[in-house]
Amino acid sequence: MPTMNLLQAINNALDIAMGSDERVLCFGEDVGGFGGVFRATSHLQEKYGRERCFNTPLVEQGIIGFANGLAAQGHKPVAEIQFADYIFPAFDQIVNESAKFRYRSGSLFEVGGLTIRAPYGGGISGGLYHSQSPEAYFAHTPGLKIVVPRNPHQAKGLLLAAIRDPDPVLFFEPKRLYRASTGEVPEADYQLPLGEAEVIKEGSDVTLLAWGAQVEVTEKAAELAEKEGISCEVIDLRSILPWDVETVAQSVLKTGRLVISHEAPLTGGFAGEIAATIAERCFLYLESPIQRVTGLDTPFPLTLEKEYLPNHLKIVEAIKASIEF
């Protein structure tokens, strides 16, 4: 199998999707001949023409409104929001239109072919307008699916599944992994299931849960904890909405402990929803309070980015606190 980085895997998935279904269109700010600000759509306009891969004006609400209209007419639009931080002008279109189209019509019409791609998260010294993780805002909205890959193999399989899924999907791409994460990726067309977590490493003492770029950080924390005799089970959630309650609950029933990590701020972060659900499902089996290791309740900083982000050392401290409770 060829080795790809995350960007190449995403580009490959888009190429396969467009080649296998003429209804698939790619558009957004600078995605055409320029190939996008991160080059995720490189050569797609050259291969499929301006009619199927093209630039839009710098108006996010218009991009998603246009995408909703295309999807409602049977197309499969893949709309790129240049940075996830820029998605908020389109918030109304996503939560009030994309998510509710099918429901309000009694299934007479829908926008299930819609996929929204957005680079997200920190790690590139992008400051407060290029580093946010907004998944929790959208997880409060029935009618959407939310997916976050952690490596090239996942990125290709999950993106192809998202484009072909019968529901509108938000596909958040951890931008600090674009070129940093590499691995073998099948050349063939394949899909990975949405809504299913992946148990990366089995363990017996504590469950560690993360998604996107935080999975690698969590794995590093698990390695340090193992050196101190603590057996960690590491789970990549992969899908935020729907999220795989059963896999996480089964792990916590075994370990009795749960540490959740994400880059977004603590208050209102999706870790809170997970913690509440697992507390309900596993209350009598918990050996200690569920720990959350997250970003801070401040705007995302520029010069203090490393201090803001939840790193492996912070996760190790949470693991120890859980074990020693």
CA distances from 72 to 98, 115, 213, 247 (A): 9, 13, 33, 34
3-state secondary structure of 239: strand
| Residue in the structure block whose two tokens are 């958040």 | 172
List all residues 6 or more positions away from 229 whose beta carbon is below 8 Å from its beta carbon: none
List all residues 6 or more positions away from 13 whose beta carbon is below 8 Å from its beta carbon: 155, 156, 157, 159, 160, 163
Tokens (6 digits) for 273: 């929803």
Contact assessment for residue 186 and residue 12, using Cβ atoms and an 8 Å cutoff? no
| Residue in the structure block whose two tokens are 């003492």 | 205
Indicate if 43 belongs to the active site: no
> Kind of pairing, strands 182-184 and 3-5?
antiparallel
Give, in degrees to the nearest 5, the angle at Cα 172 between 1 and 26. 75
Catalytic residue among 29, 60, 97, 110: 60
Q: What are the residues facing 27 on neighbouring strands?
A: 54, 79
DSSP state, residue 76: E
Q: Which helix (H) or strand (E) holds 221?
A: helix 214-227
Residue ranges of E strands in the chain:
3-5, 24-28, 53-55, 76-80, 115-120, 145-147, 169-174, 182-184, 198-201, 206-210, 232-236, 239-241, 258-265, 291-295
Residues 315 and 196: their CA atoms lie apart, in Å, by 24
Catalytic residue among 80, 110, 130, 216: 130
Indicate if 60 belongs to the active site: yes
Which residues participate in catalysis according to the annotation? 60, 130
